[in-house]
A and B are shown apart, each in its own frame.
Chain A
Amino acid sequence: MSETGFLVGNGAGFSGDRVDAPLPVLKTLIASGQPAAMFFETLGERTVALAHMEKRRDPQAGYEPMLERLLDPILALASQNNIPLLGNWGAANPPAAARAVAKLAMEKGLPDLRIALVEGDDVTGLVAGGQLPVHEADAGLDMGAWNLIAANAYIGAEPLIEALAQDADVVVAGRTSDPALAIAPLAHHFGWRMDDWESLALGAAAGHLLECGSQVSGGVFWDPGFKDIPDPANIGFPIAEVTRAGLLTITKAADTGGLVDLRTIKEQLLYELHDPSHYITPDVVLDISQCTLEVTGKDRVAIHGLRGHARPDTLKVTASFEGSWLGEGEVSVAGPNALARARATADVLLQRMKIRGLDVRARVDLIGVASVHDNDAGTLWRGYEGPEPADIRIRLAVEAKTRDDADQASREVLAMLCCGTAGTGGARWRVTPRILTRSHLVLRERVPTRVTVKTAREILA
């Protein structure tokens, strides 16, 4: 790249991503010789709720469980090269995450590492007080008597920029918007004004394309024989390059698998997007409707024609509630007459729910015939007329108001080991609590944020 720009690398696209992905990204950023930052997006709607439940069990928990594993291979190298690391890895407990980073820094001999704590996204009190309107998309959701677990607002880039302005090496936030994690280092570096919608659109597009990690560089893309990628066991995570003139290019870590081309960019550009002219983030409304793409080299695609519109006055809030219980049980059949045996098993399981008087909503899948594309009534597997499958897994799933009903229902699958059709085996069953989420809107001025930057030594003092 001829013109000096700024690079943003992504080290994780969700909680559960490959922990060996960040190092090749960091090495590529360093080798470029250009100023750079890295971000880690590790929060989903459910992840936040689960983290809050973890924090209830253990006041020191409730942050990204892989935080230390993600940072361990890169923390020293990033700080030596002035590459700040930003993440919403604080989840439900950013202070505990900041302490964990501080401990790791001390172990690495980095007592002066500057760690920024970004707080303020927790708006549980506002939702509990019934002060926030429900988002129109969820207007029909009645949470009834379910208990509120927590509510978090998707905060934008401003507090993250403030953290970088105070020379933070690591920024620990909770619920941020995903694109904000990429917008912040770019806005900080280029000094973008927060009403410069065209520039912020570049950042939002960079964030949107990178926020799911390898999804833009070959992950959930490869389709053997149709869309092959090099070395899918070592997909390189993505990097966005932005020039001062406003050109956004997506590439990926050097010496890794995967690829970046028109196809991967197109798939990720539309990912979880509805109206392409109106992608709402807390910092800018992104419009990709007039975009064009250009391959500018191997694993390099430039995105032209991005537009930005004024940011909304409100922030989105996700509120999570303790829901009902999910009970699941599975058994297998295989070989001659498997389909007839599987269908009979399904019917008997549903009959057993009635005989036992269990207060559940039930569904049966015949995995290997029809499951993920089917409905609760099993319309697809009941109507299946294709060739006889060799191996079928029968799955019962129930929703129950009590744990006991969910447990008893799923144990009916276990009972099929002795009471079921000939050749039934391989039973597994489990019960898990469900979490319900509902979106609200909050005026942004009702969500004040706080940024505290301290060294590792100070945090642990």
Chain B
Amino acid sequence: MTQVLLHDIAHSRAGDKGNRLNMSLIPYRPELYPILAEQVTAERVLALFTHRGATACVRYDLPLMHLFNFVVDEVLEGGVNGSLNLDGHGKTNSFRLLSLTVEVPEHLLSG
């Protein structure tokens, strides 16, 4: 097993609705889907945002398309209207998600 940044093996986009953030997580290779399903849990993703007051995270799994949708509540410090954050919409947060690390078997990293 090799430890890699999620950014090396998956991509993501973040969007907002009020004070709620959603982030997709999409492995480049479908074979990585079960590995991400096991290691990138809602709890781990919530922990990335608790310093900003996030209260809950739900992960929706879409196995047919090999992707995940994370929805994080109360993370945007009031959202675009109330936040003092430069990024009130939270669009940069997809790359905070991609800064997580995962353990991946070597054979899924080659080729």
By a CB distance below 8 angstroms, the chain A residues around B77 are 375-376
In the complex, per-residue mask of A348-379: 1 if CB is within 8 Å of any chain B CB, else 0: 00000000000001110101000111111001
- Closest CB-CB distance, B60 to chain A, in whole Å? 5
By a CB distance below 8 angstroms, the chain A residues around B37 are none
| Cα of A170 to Cα of B84 in the assembled complex, Å | 39
Contact B69 A379 (CB under 8 A): no
Q: Known A372-B87, A376-B84; judge A270-B67 contact (CB<8 A).
A: yes
By a CB distance below 8 angstroms, the chain A residues around B13 are 215, 220-221, 267-268, 270-271
Pick the contact of B20: A274, A293, A326, A395 (CB < 8 A).
A274
Q: Known A263-B11, A361-B84, A434-B81; judge A375-B64 contact (CB<8 A).
A: no
Assess whether A389 is interfacial by the CB under 8 Å rule: no
By a CB distance below 8 angstroms, the chain A residues around B82 are 323, 399, 434, 436
Assess whether A290 is interfacial by the CB under 8 Å rule: yes
| Cα of A269 to Cα of B68 in the assembled complex, Å | 11
Contact A398 B85 (CB under 8 A): no
The chain A residue sitting closest to B85, CB to CB, is: A372
| Cα of A195 to Cα of B81 in the assembled complex, Å | 36
Assess whether A266 is interfacial by the CB under 8 Å rule: yes
In the complex, per-residue mask of A264-286: 1 if CB is within 8 Å of any chain B CB, else 0: 00111111111110000000000
| Cα of A22 to Cα of B47 in the assembled complex, Å | 42
Interface size class of B (residues with CB under 8 A): 35 or more
Contact B84 A276 (CB under 8 A): no
Assess whether A344 is interfacial by the CB under 8 Å rule: no
| Cα of A263 to Cα of B66 in the assembled complex, Å | 11
By a CB distance below 8 angstroms, the chain B residues around A290 are 64
By a CB distance below 8 angstroms, the chain B residues around A270 are 13, 22, 24, 67, 69
Assess whether A1 is interfacial by the CB under 8 Å rule: no
By a CB distance below 8 angstroms, the chain B residues around A380 are 51
Pick the contact of A266: B15, B65, B87 (CB < 8 A).
B65
Q: Known A46-B81, A437-B81; judge A273-B69 contact (CB<8 A).
A: yes
A:195-232 near B, CB below 8 Å: 215, 220-221, 223, 226-227
Contact A276 B69 (CB under 8 A): yes
Pick the contact of B71: A274, A365, A373, A376 (CB < 8 A).
A274
- Closest CB-CB distance, A372 to chain B, in whole Å? 4
- Closest CB-CB distance, A319 to chain B, in whole Å? 12
Assess whether B44 is interfacial by the CB under 8 Å rule: no
Size of the A side of the interface (Cβ < 8 Å), in residues, is 53
A:375-421 near B, CB below 8 Å: 375-376, 379-380, 395, 397-399
By a CB distance below 8 angstroms, the chain A residues around B93 are 373
- Closest CB-CB distance, B95 to chain A, in whole Å? 8
Contact A372 B92 (CB under 8 A): yes
Contact A323 B81 (CB under 8 A): yes
Contact B86 A266 (CB under 8 A): no
- Closest CB-CB distance, B8 to chain A, in whole Å? 8
Contact A436 B86 (CB under 8 A): no
In the complex, per-residue mask of A412-455: 1 if CB is within 8 Å of any chain B CB, else 0: 00000000000000000000001111010000000000000000
- Closest CB-CB distance, A267 to chain B, in whole Å? 4
By a CB distance below 8 angstroms, the chain A residues around B91 are 220
Contact A276 B62 (CB under 8 A): yes
Contact A223 B84 (CB under 8 A): no
The chain B residue sitting closest to A363, CB to CB, is: B84
Pick the contact of A272: B15, B60, B62 (CB < 8 A).
B15
Assess whether B80 is interfacial by the CB under 8 Å rule: yes
Name the residue in A268, A289, A292 with the highest tally of chain B Cβ atoms < 10 Å from its Cβ: A289
Interface residues of A (CB under 8 A from B): 45-46, 137-138, 215, 220-221, 223, 226-227, 263, 266-276, 288-293, 305, 323, 326, 361-363, 365, 367, 371-376, 379-380, 395, 397-399, 434-437, 439
| 16 additional contacts (CB under 8 A) given A267-B11, A375-B53, A376-B84 | A45-B80, A46-B81, A137-B17, A226-B11, A266-B67, A272-B16, A273-B22, A274-B20, A274-B22, A274-B60, A293-B65, A326-B84, A372-B85, A373-B92, A374-B51, A434-B81
Interface residues of B (CB under 8 A from A): 7, 11-13, 15-18, 20, 22, 24, 26, 28, 51-53, 60, 62, 64-65, 67, 69, 71, 77, 80-82, 84-87, 91-93, 96
Can you list 11 contacts pairing A with B, beta carbon distance less than 8 Å?
A: A137-B20, A226-B11, A267-B12, A271-B22, A292-B65, A326-B84, A367-B86, A375-B51, A375-B53, A397-B86, A399-B84
Which 3 pairs show the lowest CB-CB distances between chains A and B?
A272-B15, A270-B24, A372-B87
